[in-house]
Amino acid sequence: MTMSFHTQNRPPLLPGVATKNRSHSRTKSSPSVAVVQVSSVLQTNESGNLPESKRSSMPLTRFQAPNYILSQPNTVGIIGGVSVFSSLLFLEKLVWWSLKDGGECPPFVVCSDPTLYKELPIRSLFHSFTRSRASAQILSNNWPIIESLCRKRAFLEHSGARCIVMPCHLSHAWHDQISEDCSLLFLHVGECVARELREAKLKPLENGSNVRIGVLAADATLMAGFYQEKLQSQGFEVVVPDKETMEHVVIPAVEAMKRRDMEGARNLLRIAVQVLLVRAVNTVIIASDELQGVLPRDDPLLKKCIDPMDALARSTIKWANATGNGG
45 vs 268: CA distance, rounded Å: 37
The one-character DSSP state at 261 is: -
Q: What is the pLDDT of residue 14?
A: 45
Confidence of residue 19 (pLDDT cuts 50, 70, 90): very low
What pTM was computed for the model?
0.78
User: What is the per-residue pLDDT across 276-307, written as a single tens digit (0 to 9) for each?
Assistant: 999 999 999 999 988 988 999 999 999 999 99
pLDDT at 162 over 90: yes
- Tell me the mean pLDDT in the region 7-26: 44
Give rounded-to-5 percent helix, strand, coil for the chain.
50, 10, 40
pLDDT at 136 over 60: no
Buried b (16+ CB within 10 A) or exposed e, 121-151: eeeebbbbeeeeeebbebbeebeebbebbbb
148 vs 125: CA distance, rounded Å: 20
183 vs 250: CA distance, rounded Å: 38
- Angle (CA) 135-271-202 rounded to 5° is 85
50 vs 32: CA distance, rounded Å: 29
First to last CA, the chain: 34
16 vs 21: CA distance, rounded Å: 15
CB-based burial of residue 195 (10 Å sphere; 0-12 exposed, 13-18 middle, 19+ buried)? middle
52 vs 50: CA distance, rounded Å: 7
Q: Which range has the worst mean pLDDT, 123-127, 147-151, 262-266, 269-273?
A: 123-127
Confidence of residue 170 (pLDDT cuts 50, 70, 90): confident
Q: What is the pLDDT of residue 66?
A: 53
The helix (run of H) or strand (run of E) holding residue 209 is none
Q: What percent of the chain has pLDDT over 70?
A: 71
Task: Give the chain's domains with CATH numbers.
Answer: 76-189+310-325 (3.40.50.1860), 193-307 (3.40.50.1860)
User: What is the per-residue pLDDT across 51-98, written as a single tens digit (0 to 9) for each?
Assistant: 544 443 444 333 344 545 788 999 999 999 888 888 999 999 999 999
User: What is the per-residue pLDDT across 235-272, written as a single tens digit (0 to 9) for each?
Assistant: 999 999 999 999 999 999 999 998 999 999 999 999 99
